[in-house]
Amino acid sequence: MRLATLRDGSPDGALVVVSGDGERMLPAGSNLLGAIEWWDEWAPRLAELAAEVERSGEPLDQTRLAAPLPRSWQWLDGSAFETHGRLMQVAFGLDPVPTDRPLMYQGVSDRFYGPFDDIPFPDSSLGIDFEGEYGVIVDRVPMGVSPDEAARHIRLLVQINDWSLRTLAPIEMRTGFGWIQAKPPCSVAPFAVTPDELGEGWADGRVALPLEIEWNGCRFGAANGAEMLFSFPQLVAHAARTRELVAGTIIGSGTVSNAAYAEVGSSCISEVRAAEIIAAGAPQTPFMAHGDRVRMEARASDGRSPFGVIQQRVVVTAAS
C-alpha cells in the first residue's frame, strides 16, 4: 500500500491512496497524522482503497504532493550506518563516538518539505548539504518495548532528505546538546509505503535498497540501506526506553552509507569531503550553492521506485 498527501490548504493535507505505478490516486477522507493515530481501524479501509485504485483511481498530479506527513509531533533521527559515523568524525575533526548503542537526536518536526519544494537557506556559507536516508513511521509505541515489540509498530516506510548545515554541525556537536541550527527541516519523498510493498527490500528491519542520488544531474551515489548497524526496530526500542512514542513519530536511519563507499558513492557531500581528507589531506568538493539541485530515488530490484523521487533546488534567501 502506497500513501501520499495532497496539499489542500490545511496544515496536514489530504491523505490519498496511490496506485502501484504512481499514476492514480483515491482520496482517503482523512490525513495521515489522523490515520496513523487509529491505524488498526484505518488500515483495512486503506487496503480496500489500494485495491480499488488499481481499477478506478483519479489521475495523480505529483506536483500537488506535500510530504506524506507535512508535520508530525516527533522526528527522531538515528545515525545507524557505521561508515557514515566514521567518515563524519574525519569531516568534523571530532573524536570517535561510541557505537555500542544507537545514536539519535530529536529534530524539528513541525514542518517537512514536500518532494519538489525549493529549500530556503539563509546563507550559502553554512555548508549546505543533503543527507539521503530511510525512515519509519510508527503508531503509538508504549514506553519500554523490546525491539521485537517495536517492530509491530512500524506501519510505514519513507525516504528522507535530512538537510544539514555543516559549518554549524561540529560547533553544536561539541556542546553535547545535539543540533538546532545545523538541522533545518527535512524533505520527504512522495510515497509512504507499508513494509510489504518492498518485498525483499524490507529485510531484517532495514530498507535493503540502493538510494540513487544525483547532484546537479550527475551521479553522486547509490549506497544500500542494508548496512545499518542497528535495525529500525532497535532504533524504535531505543527511542521508547523512557518515553511513550506518539503515533506519527518518524524515526530516521541516518545517512545511508556503505563500507564500499569508494565504489558505490555516498549519500551526503560531507562523506565525500571526508574521503578527500583521508586521500589528499584536504576536502575539494564544495557544499551546495544557490540553484543547486539534488535528486534521490530508492530503486527496487525490479527497477520500480517505491517511494517516488525527491527532486529539489536550493534557494539562498540572503547574500552571504
**What residues line the site for its own copies (CB under 8 A)?**
71, 73-74, 76, 79, 94, 97-98, 101, 103-111, 120-122, 126, 143-144, 165, 168, 171, 173-182, 184-185, 238-239, 241-244, 246, 249, 317-318
Pick 52 or 92: Cβ nearer its own copies: 92
Pick 79 or 258: Cβ nearer its own copies: 79
- What's the min distance (Å) between Cβ of 265 and its own copies? 25
- What's the min distance (Å) between Cβ of 303 and its own copies? 36
Pick 7 or 111: Cβ nearer its own copies: 111
- Say how far apart CA 163 and CA 259 lie, in whole Å: 22
- What's the min distance (Å) between Cβ of 123 and its own copies? 8
Pick 168 or 264: Cβ nearer its own copies: 168
Pick 60 or 239: Cβ nearer its own copies: 239
How many C-beta atoms surround the C-beta of residue 317 within 10 A?
10
- Say how far apart CA 95 and CA 197 lie, in whole Å: 40
Pick 163 or 261: Cβ nearer its own copies: 163
- What's the min distance (Å) between Cβ of 183 and its own copies? 8
- Say how far apart CA 258 and CA 245 lie, in whole Å: 29
DSSP annotation string for 209-278: SEEEEEETTEEEEEEEGGG-SS-HHHHHHHHTSSSPBPTT-EEE--S---TTHHHHB-SSHHHHHHHHHH
* Residue that is written with C-alpha cell 514542518 in the block: 111
- What's the min distance (Å) between Cβ of 41 and its own copies? 17
DSSP annotation string for 37-86: HTHHHHHHHHHHHHHHHHHHPEEP-GGGEE-SSSS-S-EEEE---HHHHH
- What's the min distance (Å) between Cβ of 241 and its own copies? 5
